[in-house]
Amino acid sequence: MTANKELLHEVASLLVEALNLDIKPEAIAPDAPLYGDGLGLDSIDMLEVSLVVSQRYGVQLRSDDENNDKIFASLASLADHIATHRTS
């Protein structure tokens, strides 16, 4: 399942809100990396994102998941993962 534009915007807004980012959700390119050079998030930010995604969508994201690099590669990949696994 692929995330729709509404979910992409929702997840972008969630990132901005949860991490107090000084950008607008629309400024996050769907395919830009979340880690490092793209949005510049670090492992602490990812833990925070995991927590709010779990609370909001019922998707469990674990620090030891071997797919984390793929899940957190970009806004689009995170939203796709949420679309596929969400319970709420």
pTM value > 0.85? yes
Q: What are phi and psi of 41, to 5 degrees?
A: -75, 155
Residue 86 is encoded by which pair of tokens?
A: 């969400």
* Number of alpha helices (DSSP H) and beta strands (DSSP E) in the chain: 4, 0
Q: Is the pLDDT of residue 1 over 70?
A: no
Say what the pLDDT of residue 18 is.
95
Domains of the chain and CATH, by start: 5-85 (1.10.1200.10)
Q: CB of 61 within 8 A of CB of 50?
A: yes
Q: Is the pLDDT of residue 6 over 90?
A: yes
Cα–Cα distance between 42 and 76 in angstroms, integer?
A: 18
12-60 per-position pLDDT tens digit: 999 999 999 999 999 999 999 998 788 889 889 989 999 999 999 999 8
